């Protein structure tokens, strides 16, 4: 029999435990380790947008001082040499009008209108030899839907040259309305002589068996010569 265990057991049972005042608290022990950070929660809904604040423009600043002026303008340089003059193509013109004598007419054969005038016609022009571009205009106060026309230059000896050539049916067809005839044209001529030329006008109708009365009618004509060489 174990007397030690028996005696101790009996002693605890018979001792009276005294309950008195609680003693002072002992020293606080060390903090334990910090735990892991928890998960971040969801972002909440955005609140309503506030009212826009008032806007003010600041006062305009003063104008800065004007900067210094640049340097003086330099003297003008000397004028350059005069350029070479280009060729000058002088133009000359003759224009005239005349009334045709009473009783005159034309048909299918060319007649010279300037030879049927009631008075001498100022239809001469002085030209030097060379190549010319010509422009001319014709107006007549009668009607002929089939009228054709050509020009020749007479130097006092012979007719030279033709503007259009009636020998090969090359001539100007005139435009017509109920009461008038009109024609404009241009051409190139070569004049071999430096002299005065009479400008002669010729006309006919191409309608067979037709006679065109022109007595008392008026012809207006103008021609310009521009020399090329």
| Angle subtended at Cα 177 by Cα 176 and Cα 182, rounded to the nearest 5 degrees | 40
Distance between CA atoms of 163 and 148, rounded to whole angstroms?
Answer: 13
CA-CA distance, 95 to 137, in Å (whole number)? 9
What's the burial of 153, exposed, middle or buried (CB within 10 Å: 0-12/13-18/19+)? Answer: buried
> Which stretch of 7-11, 142-146, 165-169 has the lowest confidence by average pLDDT?
7-11
Count Cβ atoms within 10 A of the Cβ of residue 110 and give its class: 0-12 exposed, 13-18 middle, 19 or more buried: middle
Quick one: pLDDT at residue 202? Answer: 96
Q: Which fold does the domain 97-227 belong to in CATH?
A: Jelly Rolls (2.60.120)
Identify the pLDDT of residue 194. Answer: 93
Distance of CA 179 to the CA centre of its chain: 42
Report the SS3 class of residue 91: strand
Give the pLDDT of residue 87: 57
> Residue 102 in 3-state DSSP?
coil
Greater pLDDT, 87 or 115: 115
**pTM (predicted TM-score):** 0.61
State the number of CA atoms in the 13 A half-sphere of 88 facing the CB. Answer: 4
Are β-strands 124-127 and 195-205 bridged in parallel, bridged antiparallel, or unpaired?
antiparallel
Average pLDDT over residues 125-140: 95
Distance CA 197, CA 31 (A): 138
Mean pLDDT of 131-145: 96
Per-residue pLDDT reduced to its tens digit, 50-84: 787 777 677 778 888 887 777 777 778 888 887 77
171-192 residue pLDDT tens? 899 999 889 999 999 999 999 8
Q: Is the peptide bond before 161 cis (omega within 30 degrees of 0)?
A: yes
Determine the pLDDT at residue 70: 73
* DSSP-H helix ranges across the chain: 3-14
CA distance 118 to 110: 19
Q: Domain spans of the chain?
A: 97-227
Q: Do the beta carbons of residue 191 and residue 129 sit within 8 Å? A: yes
């Amino acid at each position: 029999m174990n007397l030690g265990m028996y005696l101790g057991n009996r002693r605890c049972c018979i001792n009276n435990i005294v309950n008195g005042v609680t003693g002072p608290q002992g020293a606080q022990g060390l903090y334990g380790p910090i735990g892991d950070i928890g998960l971040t929660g969801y972002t909440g809904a955005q609140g309503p947008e506030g009212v826009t604040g008032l806007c003010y423009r600041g006062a305009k600043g003063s104008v800065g001082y004007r900067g210094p002026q640049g340097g003086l303008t330099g003297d003008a340089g000397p004028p350059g040499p005069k350029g070479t003059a280009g060729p000058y193509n002088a133009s000359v013109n003759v224009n005239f009008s005349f009334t045709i004598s009473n009783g005159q007419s034309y048909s299918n054969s060319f007649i010279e209108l300037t030879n049927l005038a009631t008075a001498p016609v100022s239809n001469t022009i002085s030209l030097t030899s060379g190549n010319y571009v010509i422009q001319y205009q014709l107006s007549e106060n009668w009607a002929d839907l089939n009228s054709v026309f050509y020009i020749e230059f007479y130097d006092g000896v012979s007719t030279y040259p033709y503007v259009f050539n009636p020998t090969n049916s090359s001539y100007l067809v005139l435009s017509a309305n109920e009461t008038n005839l009109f024609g404009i044209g241009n051409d190139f001529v070569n004049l071999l002589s430096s002299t005065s030329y009479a400008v002669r006008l010729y006309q006919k109708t191409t309608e067979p068996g037709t006679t065109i009365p022109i007595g008392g009618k008026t012809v207006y004509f103008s021609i310009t010569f521009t020399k090329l060489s």
